[in-house]
Homo-oligomer: A and B are copies of this chain.
Amino acid sequence: MIIVLKPGTTEREIEHIVKRIREMNLTPHMVRGTERTVIAVIGDERDLQRHPLAALPGVEEALPILSPYKLVSREFKKETTVVDVDGIKIGGNKVVVMAGPCSVENQERLTSIAQEVKAGGALILRGGAFKPRTSPYSFQGLGEEGLEYLSEAKRKTGLLIVTEIMDPRDMPLMMKHADIIQIGARNMQNFRLLAEVGSYSKPVMLKRGLSATIKEFLLSAEYILAAGNHQVILCERGIRSFETATRNTLDLSAVPLIKQISHLPIIVDPSHAVGRTDLVVPMAKAAIAAGADGLIIEVHSNPEEAYCDGEQALLPTTFKTLMSQLKRVAAAVDREI
């Protein structure tokens, strides 16, 4: 950490700051310049997070040097993590596609969509049983019944299941029905939920919050790893910007950036990012070109009757065409799909 002192800081204030740093078992290095004095503090900065050096008299700014996360970083673990979900490897050379409806609506429709996305090449079925909706008057999901439909669709198709958790009290149900537990964007900083899923050994897909910086996103993943669960898949799904022409702004540069900083795999959700079917296709291609390890895509056999997000769901035929195009893009960046 670099402590920048205010212009007229007194010697007494400096002594007090130095004393406080030493009390934390850290070594201050004083550098006196012509316009400013700075104190470089060398040691484990994570300890400093408990002590607000910025609140000391005479301090203008306290600049962190080390990244605040540890377990998720490449400095901690050099090799890329490959999350093994019952034999399907996420984070390896193969790009994994998850697809399915926004929400589970009934058994028949779900199984039918599952068969379609499997035929298209998806390996994992998505579908929400618990739905976080902005309005209390929107469809909130079928709950446990929806989870059972997912399990049945899995039995019929062999697809693995990714579905969202909203409440720590639902973990037992999740352990029974889900192969990957999704933490949605709105719960990215629901720290109790992060700790809860971290205490089980089931793969977790963590979506980036609407206004989460990459640093905050990785710190939320750190919560899960710190609780003991290292099987974390990150998911970029668009951030909130001033632009309203698309549902969110897909921050694709987060993909190569996170791959540098962290060893965790990262996938992209183009459906929620853009919110319009006609833009899902080009952005899915772009995601793979940017290096994504997978995609999660909304597909519905009858979008106009979907209980949610119909305007962004691909028809199964469009999904199939997309998959064949994605194969070509994947090959162009030396990956398979």
Residue positions of A touching B, CB distance < 8 A? 2, 4, 7, 20, 29, 31-36, 38, 40, 42-44, 46, 49-50, 52, 54-57, 63, 65-66, 68-70, 75, 132-140, 166-169, 186-187, 189-192, 210-211, 213-216, 219, 222-223, 226-227, 239-246, 249-257, 260, 273-274, 278-279, 282-283, 285-291, 303-304, 306-311, 313, 325, 328-329, 331-333
Contact = CB atoms under 8 A, between A and B. Distances in A.
A140 B289 CA distance: 36
Contact of A52 (B66, B260, B290, B308): B308
A220 to B, nearest CB: 8
A2 B63 contact: yes
A291 B278 CA distance: 13
Contact of A253 (B2, B214, B260, B274): B274
Contacts of A57: 304
A35 B167 CA distance: 36
Copies in the complex: 4
A214 B246 CA distance: 10
Contact of A4 (B65, B251, B273): B65
A257 to B, nearest CB: 6
B245 A239 contact: no
Contacts of A251: 241, 243, 249-250
Contacts of A46: 135, 137
B213 A243 contact: yes
A291 B289 CA distance: 12
B54 A311 contact: yes
A256 B239 contact: no
